[in-house]
Chains A and B, each alone.
Chain A
Amino acid sequence: MSGRARVRARGLARSPRAAEVGRPQASPSPPSVDLSDNEASSSSGFVGTKRTLQKDEDGISSGDVRSTFMERGVKIGRNFMDLGICTREKLAHVKDCKTGSSGIPVKLVTNLFNLDFPQNWQLYQYHVTYSPDLESRRLRTALLYSHSEISNKAKAFDGAVLFLSRKLEEKVTELSSETHRGETVKMTLTLTTEVLSSSPVCIQVFNIIFKKILKKLSMYQIGRNYYNPSEPVEIPQHKLSLWPGFAISISQFESRLLFSANVSYKVLRNETVLEFMTDLYHKTGMSCFTETCEKQLMGLIVLTRYNNKTYRIDDIDWSVRPTHTFKKRDGTEITYVDYYEQQYNITLSDLNQPLLVSLLKSKRNDNTEARIAHLIPELCFLTGLTSQATSDFQLMKAVADETRISPLGQQQRLARLADSIQRNKDAHFELEKWGLHFGAQMSLTGRVVPSEKILLQDHICQPVSAADWSKDIRTCKILSAQPLNKWLVFCSNRTENGTESFVNCLKRVGSSMGFNVSYPKIIKVQENPAAFFRAVQQHVDPGVQLVMCILPSDQNYYNSIKKYLSCDCPVPSQCILARTLNKQGMMMSIATRVAMQMACKLEGELWAVEIPLKSLMVVGIDVCKDAFRKEVVVVGFVASVNPRITRWFSRCILQKATTDIADCLKVFMTGAVKTWYKYNHSLPARIIVYRHGVGDGQLKTLLEYEVPQLLSSVTESSSNTSSKLSVIVVRKKCVPRFFTEMSQTVENPPLGTVVDSQATRSEWYDFYLVSQAASRGTVNPTYYNVIYDDNGLKPDHMQRLTFKMCHLYYNWMGLISIPAPCLYAHKLTFLVAQSIHKEPSLELANSLFYL
């Protein structure tokens, strides 16, 4: 594994927030629609609802969650789709109680706030029809709101569906208004549903209410989060400014509705596209300006501050000027200059700038012609960081210092937000109108499960810190390793010396950890990918145990060599960047890590933890999109094949699909069970599957499509007693954060903290586990949802077993944030999706060849 890959893997395991801050936001929010600057469109946040259907539906449906969605045909956010799925009621052993009891109780503060409302609180949903029919949502809203009986009430309206906090007198209300053209429009309001507070529809309405409230606190929605442009954090030396903000959601937890907020930052560059262009022009000169300009700007995300929306630059139109005209939606022609003058009161200074082109996302999924938007470079601010900037250590440090805020900082920011929501008069009024009350920050009791011992060949080690036990096991022998007798090293002429000393280092390190490494055959190759590739082809034969390549640079070499050695000629391979070997002081620690990886690639076992269950198979599943072909999904499956859970069977397949749902699990599972049988001469009594990489709204598909595949292979594999199966969904992205209160200050919770009450959901068998240490910033708990469970393990045991699994990732001598088989599966799919693009050879399935 190259240094690059290791950094990535470690980044994955240890700093989940890095990606959020460091990258430009890849997915621009769907722009257009709500230019909410007048009262009429104050409900414009309701973009997610389609105003169609329900034309012929008058009856008031019951409060059943899912049926209301399906019937009304309302397109709802994906994360709401999981809410109606109740898995817990089918699991008899946790029906009454899903909490564990072992471990030391610990008091935790959360980022959740109570949201109180009266007991019998409900929403009234009306369907509004217009006669004659009107297209403009703004007009529809304005006409409706002109009636005092509506406008005085707390309301949310998207053009067709109206939510009120109080019932109108009649089930069907008829109103009429006159437009300023003199037309009389009749509006019919029909009550369709009375929505209970527990309903997902209600949660969506709450989210809209809070959007309004945050606007009153001058926070604006960009993407999914809310930012405050008026209090930017400036980093002048790098021309950056950070907008502080929050990711906010309202959701139903165990017994109540909670408001949650997470600190987030928007990285903006204090540089408009026009300035960037001018700069570039002075640097490159006339001749190749357009070309370089296109190359550098294409694909960047810009923010237009007049409406706080983000767009991706898809093209540059050099032929259009701001003085040219375009057609507005009502058919009138207007120049760009005048438009910005009238609409936003902005005067453009440069009338000769070219215009940027952004492709607008089509709302409907039909094949209509793509719509494009023209943007003025002068008004577009660059966002995110360029790859050039991310490689600038000083800059990244400056950004991280601001964005990775400590638990204390986070706590202070939360307190300020809560305070301003409660104190701001407008915000308070809005809440009151709906009958809501913003409550106190919630605290709860978690438990810290006991730490684990690390078992080595002749030594049991109790690490000082579970986050990193590399020092504790430095002198210990690993569990088992095949001696490495016949292996090849490919290097370029320049790196010959470094290679030799590294190999000697490897031999020394290997022998001290019980891994015998003989002297390899070193082959010098010219420094180009073709030469490397051909040399590998010529010299690798079936007798070779392992191939090591000291690569002069990254991608080209790595991909072709990995592809060849994983598919065409299956031999474990170890690639190292030449510059890694130049770090003189680090040689020993690099050699240790490489030796461990090599031992794993030769089916070695490094360490183990105590597993009380005999005959348990643990499986990790992950999915990943192929880097080249977006329609191809790589599914990785890694299963343990010995009771000690130290050896793994890994398979991977590429499937054509648009969703991240796996197809071929039956084949994988059958293969894993067979391999288990081969080694143990019996079938595993229990199988626990950790499924990673599940998106919002896929829970139902998982239950109805993936679990049956796993089940059928398990039941088919034996006639009398079949293995018991559990399926657990693992998610690293979750809303709650937990902090421990120390004297006067707050800190990240200790390793092994489990939360299985209050912040969980009543309809699921779920828990949070903090299994990784964050050196900086706040730690992200990992969320586990047991969706299927035949094993009937006590919640205590399930939680502890999961914690044990987080110790077994052989690429990192410490705890990781997700169970090891999940990270193995992720590593496998990542390698295949980035480099190999095809199924690796089955001959490698028994080794961790992808580490």
Chain B
Amino acid sequence: MPNRRASRNAYYFFVREKIPELRRRGLPVARIADAMPYCSADWAKPVSTPLTRPGMLVPKQNVSPPDMSSLSLKSDQALFGGVFYFLDIFSHGELPHCEQHFLPCEIGCVKYSLQEGIMADFHSFINPGEIPRGFRFHCQAASDCSHKIPISNFESGHDQATVLQNLYRFIHPNPGNWPPIYCKSDDRARVNWCLKHMAKTSEIRKNLELRTVEDLIVGIYQEKFLKEPSKTWVRSLLDVSMWDYSSNTRCKWHEENDILFCALAVCKKIAYCISNSLVTLFGVQLTEAHVPLQDYEASSSVTPKMVVLDAGRYQKLRGESPGFSHFNSSSQEQRSNISFGDYPSGVKTGQNSSIRGRGITRLIESISNSSSNIHKFSN
């Protein structure tokens, strides 16, 4: 089954569009698969930039990447190695008639490059502060229909100054230029306001340059194909639900409570979407840092009639893996994390964590590492 699905990548849609023409040429093409060989030459031409809908594009190893030699890969290097930060901040609703427009409660940030995929991520809950009198219901309702973070008595929230400081250390560990930060255009007003507000309380003055992901995608596309993609295409590229339940995408709290709205997940999904739609156009192999591939490999051993799927055990395992301890709310551990100096609390880098992969690879890895864990999978 996975083979069939995997053929639906950008190339698939390209081939599908070509079929009528091939038929006119008198070629015997009944199915997509028949047409594949005839299209690879056209695929490589720079003129044929396919504006495909983002669909099921996870490519497989056995599908050889289309020949991209006619594109100058050299000029792409700058774009390719470039590091972007995706940021989102959630709020307990929007308070229209109030000086306090938003109540920041969760922050997620991802370090990403086209070449390497997600390089590191940062996540933290934020103590929203006092809720303005009379707006409790409003905030409660807004929270209930999205991220569901409790508006009071939620111990995991850190104070705003600390969070901001940690964010700064995440995106700017070394002296030099501050990198540009990207967020979705719909969220820009909120993120901007929250950043300013948090800076006010913490008295750290640093004007981050906040740009929109949509513009970034347009920019990358333009640089690559020398023409502008349509706005709807960009929008639909970002607005997909296929990664909603991917493992290692939401923060631990949201994953455990099975809530889809998570600031970290928003950032990671931006990365997945860009990887899925743009990186493939560059003709580069997607790694598990680009998209959660493992979720899709897991089913390779299905019996055709009955399948039993078990997504829970990955989560179980993850809860115990040291790479995810960032969430731990015990302040002592928090402090000790910081005192190591390398990374502030809430930050996790790909290189640092001992278990890097997601899902099944990590499962296999850990099984080979310690056989003592095995009994835990039986439940």
From known contacts A523-B307, A530-B311, A542-B8, infer whether A369 and B97 are also in contact, taking CB-CB under 8 Å: yes
Docked CA distance A741–B199 (Å):
73
Residue from B55, B138, B244, B308 having most chain A Cβ neighbours under 10 A: B244
A residues near B307, Cβ cutoff 8 Å? 523-525, 535, 539
Q: How far is the CB of A395 from chain B (nearest CB, A)?
A: 25
Docked CA distance A316–B131 (Å):
12
Does B136 lie within 8 Å of A568, measured CB to CB?
A: no
A residues near B152, Cβ cutoff 8 Å? 291, 294
Of A444-452, A556-564, A616-624, A804-812, the stretch lying at the interface with chain B is A556-564
A residues near B55, Cβ cutoff 8 Å? 568-569
Does A538 lie within 8 Å of B258, measured CB to CB?
A: no
From known contacts A315-B135, A569-B56, infer whether A526 and B245 are also in contact, taking CB-CB under 8 Å: no
Of B68-76, B171-179, B234-242, B345-353, the stretch lying at the interface with chain A is B234-242
* Binary A-proximity of B105-134 (CB < 8 A = 1, otherwise 0): 000000000000000000000000001011
Q: How far is the CB of A285 from chain B (nearest CB, A)?
A: 16
Does A523 lie within 8 Å of B312, measured CB to CB?
A: no
State the majority secondary structure of interface residues on B.
loop
Does A526 lie within 8 Å of B1, measured CB to CB?
A: no
The verdict on B145 contacting chain A, using a C-beta distance below 8 Å, is: yes
Docked CA distance A658–B239 (Å):
23
Q: How far is the CB of B291 from chain A (nearest CB, A)?
A: 13
Query: Which residues of B, 49-67, contact A by the 8 Å Cβ criterion?
Result: 54-56
Docked CA distance A357–B306 (Å):
57
Q: How far is the CB of A122 from chain B (nearest CB, A)?
A: 42
Does B135 lie within 8 Å of A537, measured CB to CB?
A: no
| Chain B residue with the shortest CB-CB distance to A369 | B97
Docked CA distance A628–B147 (Å):
11
Does B4 lie within 8 Å of A531, measured CB to CB?
A: no
Partner of A526, one of B153, B240, B312: B312
* Binary B-proximity of A508-532 (CB < 8 A = 1, otherwise 0): 0000000000000111111011110
B residues near A299, Cβ cutoff 8 Å? 137, 140-141
* Binary A-proximity of B294-311 (CB < 8 A = 1, otherwise 0): 011011000011111111
Docked CA distance A628–B143 (Å):
10
The verdict on B364 contacting chain A, using a C-beta distance below 8 Å, is: no
The verdict on A196 contacting chain B, using a C-beta distance below 8 Å, is: no
A residues near B239, Cβ cutoff 8 Å? 838
Does A314 lie within 8 Å of B306, measured CB to CB?
A: no
The verdict on B200 contacting chain A, using a C-beta distance below 8 Å, is: no
A residues near B81, Cβ cutoff 8 Å? none
A residues near B138, Cβ cutoff 8 Å? 314, 359
| Chain A residue with the shortest CB-CB distance to B131 | A315
Q: How far is the CB of A487 from chain B (nearest CB, A)?
A: 14
Does A564 lie within 8 Å of B309, measured CB to CB?
A: no
From known contacts A538-B296, A542-B8, A628-B146, infer whether A528 and B312 are also in contact, taking CB-CB under 8 Å: yes
Does A315 lie within 8 Å of B2, measured CB to CB?
A: no
Does A372 lie within 8 Å of B134, measured CB to CB?
A: yes
* Binary B-proximity of A526-557 (CB < 8 A = 1, otherwise 0): 10111101110111111100000000000010
Q: How many residues of A contact B (CB 8 A)?
A: 51
The verdict on A367 contacting chain B, using a C-beta distance below 8 Å, is: yes
Partner of B258, one of A317, A530, A539, A628: A530
Q: How many residues of B contact A (CB 8 A)?
A: 47
Does A523 lie within 8 Å of B140, measured CB to CB?
A: no
Residue from B2, B54, B56 having most chain A Cβ neighbours under 10 A: B56
A residues near B298, Cβ cutoff 8 Å? 538
B residues near A522, Cβ cutoff 8 Å? 305-306
Partner of B242, one of A524, A539, A542, A564: A564
The verdict on A312 contacting chain B, using a C-beta distance below 8 Å, is: yes
A residues near B216, Cβ cutoff 8 Å? none
Does B137 lie within 8 Å of A541, measured CB to CB?
A: no
Does B311 lie within 8 Å of A531, measured CB to CB?
A: yes
The verdict on B23 contacting chain A, using a C-beta distance below 8 Å, is: no
Does B133 lie within 8 Å of A538, measured CB to CB?
A: no
Does A298 lie within 8 Å of B309, measured CB to CB?
A: no
Does B309 lie within 8 Å of A526, measured CB to CB?
A: yes
A residues near B136, Cβ cutoff 8 Å? 294, 298, 314-316, 357
A residues near B245, Cβ cutoff 8 Å? 529-530, 533-534, 560
Does A531 lie within 8 Å of B97, measured CB to CB?
A: no
Q: How far is the CB of B55 from chain A (nearest CB, A)?
A: 7
Does B97 lie within 8 Å of A560, measured CB to CB?
A: no
Q: How far is the CB of A847 from chain B (nearest CB, A)?
A: 19
Partner of B133, one of A372, A533, A543: A372
B residues near A295, Cβ cutoff 8 Å? 140
Residue from B99, B134, B242, B296 having most chain A Cβ neighbours under 10 A: B134
The verdict on A310 contacting chain B, using a C-beta distance below 8 Å, is: no
Docked CA distance A560–B245 (Å):
9
| Chain A residue with the shortest CB-CB distance to B242 | A568
From known contacts A535-B309, A538-B2, infer whether A564 and B241 are also in contact, taking CB-CB under 8 Å: yes
Does A541 lie within 8 Å of B1, measured CB to CB?
A: yes
Docked CA distance A294–B8 (Å):
50
Query: Which residues of A, 560-578, contact B by the 8 Å Cβ criterion?
Result: 560, 563-564, 567-569
The verdict on A278 contacting chain B, using a C-beta distance below 8 Å, is: no
B residues near A362, Cβ cutoff 8 Å? 97
Query: Which residues of B, 216-241, contact A by the 8 Å Cβ criterion?
Result: 239-241
The verdict on A343 contacting chain B, using a C-beta distance below 8 Å, is: no
Does B309 lie within 8 Å of A529, measured CB to CB?
A: no
Q: How far is the CB of A545 from chain B (nearest CB, A)?
A: 15
Docked CA distance A567–B137 (Å):
33
Docked CA distance A315–B304 (Å):
56
Does B97 lie within 8 Å of A370, measured CB to CB?
A: yes
Docked CA distance A569–B182 (Å):
28
Query: Which residues of B, 308-345, contact A by the 8 Å Cβ criterion?
Result: 308-312, 315
Docked CA distance A528–B256 (Å):
11
The verdict on B281 contacting chain A, using a C-beta distance below 8 Å, is: no
Partner of A314, one of B1, B8, B137, B299: B137
From known contacts A534-B311, A537-B242, A568-B242, infer whether A315 and B258 are also in contact, taking CB-CB under 8 Å: no
Query: Which residues of B, 76-103, contact A by the 8 Å Cβ criterion?
Result: 96-99
A residues near B260, Cβ cutoff 8 Å? 560
- 26 A-B pairs with C-beta separation under 8 A: A291-B153, A298-B140, A299-B137, A314-B134, A315-B131, A359-B134, A359-B137, A367-B97, A372-B133, A521-B304, A523-B306, A524-B307, A525-B307, A525-B308, A525-B309, A528-B312, A530-B315, A538-B1, A541-B1, A543-B4, A556-B258, A560-B241, A567-B241, A568-B240, A569-B55, A569-B56
Q: Which residues of B does A touch, CB under 8 Å?
A: 1-2, 4-5, 8, 54-56, 96-99, 131, 133-138, 140-141, 145-146, 152-153, 239-242, 244-245, 258, 260, 295-296, 298-299, 304-312, 315
